[in-house]
Amino acid sequence: MRLRPAPLLFAATALAACSQQADEQAAAPMPTPSLTTQPMPTQAADGTPLAAGEWLVEETGNGASARFREQGGADALVLVCDRANRALSLSRAGTTTAAPAVPTR
């Protein structure tokens, strides 16, 4: 299953609220959405299927979060920004037998 890159970029942009930039930049006008007659693709260019679901974005006084929820109602991917702790967490649905090591620098 493959996630669409455009929603990932949208979620990453939504989580930019974690930055310490001035709030007046956030007051930029939102672009007007445009309708298209082209159907949404169901597979990537290499033939792998795309994940069907929706992005849910929420902003709070303490940060922001973006969730990709599959059609079955389960969160497949969650990005959370915690401003107070200056932390960004990424969670992905799945199972494992041991905690994976993720190096950070």
Domain membership flag for residue 4: yes
**Is 34 a domain residue?**
no
Q: How many domains does the chain have?
A: 1
Residue 36 maps to a domain: no
Instruction: Report whether 76 contacts 93 (CB < 8 A).
Output: yes
Range of the domain at 83: 1-16+58-94
- 1 occurs within a structural domain: yes
Residue 105 within any structural domain of the chain: no
Secondary structure letter of residue 84 according to DSSP: T
Question: Would residue 37 count as lying in a domain?
Answer: no
Give the range among 18-22, 84-88, 97-101 with minimum mean pLDDT. 18-22
Per-residue pLDDT tens digits for 2-56: 555 666 666 666 666 565 555 555 567 888 888 888 887 788 888 888 878 889 9
Specify the pLDDT at position 53: 86
pLDDT of the residue at 50: 82
Top mean-pLDDT range of 39-53, 65-79, 89-103? 65-79
pTM for this prediction: 0.50
Q: Tell me whether residue 77 is in a domain.
A: yes
**Domain assignment of residue 29, yes or no:** no
Give the pLDDT confidence score for residue 87 in this predicted structure: 92
- Alpha carbon of 36 to those of 33, 39, 40, 59, 70: distances in Å? 10, 8, 10, 28, 23
Q: Do the beta carbons of residue 56 and residue 79 sit within 8 Å?
A: no
Q: What is the pLDDT of residue 18?
A: 60
